C-alpha cells in the first residue's frame, strides 16, 4: 500500500511534534515529505534526520542558510512565504496545518488550491476567513479535516448523519487553569499561572486562549464554519476532566459524544487515517472510578468567550478583528506588557472601533487583519485595555 504523503506545517510546535509521533508509530502508512518551522533550528534538524523529507521551510533566514549548508540535497524555503512555497511545491496529499495564528492562513489556502486534504489544527485561519476558506475548499474539492479535539469529536459523531438531523452541538471546555475564579482573582494572575493548563500540554498562544476562554469562543466560530451550523445550535459546557471532547445532539434527543484521554494524537491520527481507523497503543482510557462533571461557562468572569460569541453573530469582519486583536493582546501579555484581564479589554475596544467592510476575497481579510492589529497595538501602548 502506498504511504500517505504528508507535509507538516509547524512541525516544531506542540501539534507538529504530536503529528510526527503519529507518523513515527505509523511509518508504514505515513511518509513525511515536507516540514515547516519558524525558528527552532535544532529541533528541525533532528526531525530532518529522522524523517528525511525532501523539502523544508524555515521562516528564519539565517537558520535556513545553515540548513542549506548542512543538507545540500534538501530543498529549503525560507522567509515569511516559505511555508506557502513549500505547500506549492511538495508532492503531498495531506497538509497538517499547525502553524499558530493568522500567519497560517496563506499556506492553508495554497494547500486547498492544490486540492490537498488539510488536517486543520490552526483555528485562527478559520476564525478570520472561515466563509472564504470553506468556499475555496468546495470550489477546489479539498477536504478540511478537523484536528481540534472538539471538532474531531463532532466530526466523528456526525459520520453517516445529515446536518439537518442535528438539534445542537455542545463543545466541551476544560475551563482552563482559572476555572472557578472571580474577576478580582483574575486581575492578579501571572504569565506562568496562565500557561499552566490543567489537562492539555499546548503552545503558548493557545494556552493563554484557554485560560481566558477565548479559545472556546474561537472554536464556536470554527464549528460554525466547519459544519455549516448556525450559532444558535452551538453551545458550550465546561468539563474540567477533558474526557468528553464534545457532544452532538440529534433531533430525536439522542446525544453522541466522543471520549478519550486528553491526547492530541487521537484526533491527529483520525484526521490522517480518515476514512479508516488505525490501531494505537498509547491511549489508556482508564476511567473506572472517575467522575465527570459539566458546568455552564461563567460568561461574566470570562468575557472573552462572550466577545467571541457576539463577534461570530455580527459577521465576518468582526471575527477578523476579534482574532487579530486577540493575537496582539496575547503576545503583549506573554511579553509582560499588559495584565491578563487587559486581553479582554483590548479585544473589546478593538471590536468597538471596527468599521466593517465586505470581505470579498482573502486579500480583503489580510487588509482588515492589519488594520485591526494596528488599532489593537495602539490600545496596548496606551494601556487602553486595562
Ligand X SMILES: NC(=O)c1ccc[n+]([C@@H]2O[C@H](COP(=O)([O-])OP(=O)(O)OC[C@H]3O[C@@H](n4cnc5c(N)ncnc54)[C@H](OP(=O)(O)O)[C@@H]3O)[C@@H](O)[C@H]2O)c1
Nearest partner of 127 among 323, 317, 315, judged by Cα: 323
* For ligand X, the closer CB: 353 or 362: 362
CB of 185 to ligand X, least distance (A): 25
CB of 63 to ligand X, least distance (A): 9
Secondary structure element (H or E) that encloses residue 94, with its range: strand 94-97
**Residue length of the chain:** 386
Distance, first Cα to last Cα, the chain: 58
Task: For residue 237, give the C-alpha cell.
Answer: 459546557
What is the distance, to the nearest Å, from the Cα of residue 206 to the centroid of all Cα atoms in its chain?
Answer: 8
Task: For residue 253, give the C-alpha cell.
Answer: 434527543
CB of 289 to ligand X, least distance (A): 26
Task: Give the residue at shortest CB distance from ligand X.
Answer: 13
Nearest partner of 324 among 372, 289, 268, judged by Cα: 372
* For ligand X, the closer CB: 31 or 207: 207
CB of 80 to ligand X, least distance (A): 6
* For ligand X, the closer CB: 123 or 373: 123
* For ligand X, the closer CB: 15 or 95: 15
Q: Which long-range contacts (CB under 8 A, 24 or more apart) does 20-27 make?
A: 20/47, 20/50, 20/51, 21/265, 22/265, 22/268, 22/269, 22/272, 23/51, 23/272, 24/50, 25/280, 25/281, 25/282, 26/269, 26/272, 26/273, 26/278
* For ligand X, the closer CB: 17 or 250: 17
Residues that bind ligand X (CB under 6 A): 10-16, 36-40, 59, 83, 98-100, 103, 121-124, 148, 200, 202-206, 264
Whether 180 and 310 have beta carbons less than 8 Å apart is answered as: no
* For ligand X, the closer CB: 30 or 99: 99
* For ligand X, the closer CB: 59 or 339: 59
Task: For residue 123, give the C-alpha cell.
Answer: 483555528
CB of 207 to ligand X, least distance (A): 8
Nearest partner of 273 among 14, 1, 22, 8, judged by Cα: 22
CA torsion 209-211-213-218 (nearest 10°) is 20
CB of 211 to ligand X, least distance (A): 13
* For ligand X, the closer CB: 89 or 353: 89
CB of 123 to ligand X, least distance (A): 5
Whether 90 and 33 have beta carbons less than 8 Å apart is answered as: yes
* For ligand X, the closer CB: 274 or 349: 274
* Preceding peptide of 166 cis, ω within 30°: no
| Angle of the 316-334 helix axis to the 303-314 helix axis, nearest 10 | 150
CB of 368 to ligand X, least distance (A): 19
CB of 262 to ligand X, least distance (A): 9
Amino acid at each position: 500500500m502506498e504511504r500517505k504523503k504528508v507535509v507538516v506545517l509547524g512541525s516544531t510546535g506542540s501539534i507538529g511534534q504530536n503529528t510526527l509521533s503519529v507518523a513515527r508509530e505509523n511509518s508504514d502508512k505515513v511518509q513525511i515529505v515536507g516540514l515547516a518551522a519558524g525558528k527552532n533550528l535544532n529541533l528541525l534538524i533532528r526531525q530532518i534526520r529522522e524523517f528525511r523529507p525532501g523539502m523544508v521551510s524555515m521562516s528564519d533566514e539565517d537558520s535556513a542558510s545553515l540548513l542549506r549548508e548542512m543538507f545540500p540535497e534538501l530543498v529549503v524555503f525560507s522567509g515569511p512565504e516559505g511555508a506557502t512555497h513549500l505547500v506549492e511545491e511538495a508532492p503531498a496529499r495531506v497538509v497538517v496545518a499547525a502553524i499558530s495564528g493568522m500567519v497560517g492562513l496563506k499556506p492553508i489556502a495554497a494547500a486547498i488550491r492544490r486540492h490537498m486534504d488539510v488536517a486543520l489544527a490552526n483555528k485562527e485561519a478559520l476564525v478570520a476567513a472561515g466563509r472564504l476558506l470553506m468556499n475555496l475548499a468546495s470550489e477546489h474539492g479539498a477536504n478540511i479535516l478537523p484536528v481540534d479535539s472538539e471538532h474531531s469529536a463532532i466530526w466523528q459523531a456526525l459520520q453517516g448523519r445529515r446536518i439537518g438531523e442535528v438539534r445542537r452541538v455542545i463543545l466541551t471546555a476544560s475551563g482552563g487553569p482559572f476555572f472557578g475564579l472571580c474577576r478580582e482573582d483574575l486581575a492578579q494572575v501571572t504569565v506562568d499561572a496562565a500557561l499552566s493548563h490543567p489537562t492539555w500540554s499546548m503552545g503558548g498562544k493557545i494556552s493563554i486562549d484557554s485560560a481566558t476562554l477565548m479559545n472556546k469562543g474561537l472554536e464556536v466560530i470554527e464549528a460554525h464554519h466547519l459544519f455549516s451550523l448556525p450559532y444558535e445550535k452551538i453551545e458550550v459546557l465546561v468539563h474540567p476532566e477533558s474526557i468528553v471532547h464534545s457532544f452532538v445532539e440529534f433531533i430525536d434527543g439522542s446525544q453522541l459524544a466522543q471520549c478519550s484521554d486528553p491526547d492530541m494524537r487521537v484526533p491527529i491520527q483520525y484526521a490522517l487515517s480518515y476514512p479508516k481507523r488505525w490501531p494505537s497503543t498509547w491511549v489508556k482510557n482508564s476511567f473506572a472510578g472517575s467522575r465527570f462533571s459539566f458546568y455552564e461557562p461563567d460568561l461574566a468572569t470570562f468575557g472573552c468567550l462572550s466577545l467571541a460569541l457576539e463577534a461570530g453573530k455580527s459577521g465576518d469582519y468582526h471575527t477578523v478583528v476579534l482574532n487579530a486583536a486577540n493575537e496582539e493582546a496575547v503576545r503583549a501579555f506573554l511579553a509582560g506588557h499588559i495584565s491578563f484581564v487587559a486581553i479582554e479589554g483590548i479585544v473589546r475596544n478593538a471590536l468597538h472601533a471596527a468599521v466593517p467592510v465586505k470581505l470579498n476575497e482573502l486579500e480583503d481579510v489580510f487588509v482588515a487583519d492589519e488594520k485591526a492589529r494596528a488599532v489593537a497595538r495602539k490600545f496596548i501602548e496606551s494601556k487602553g485595555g486595562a
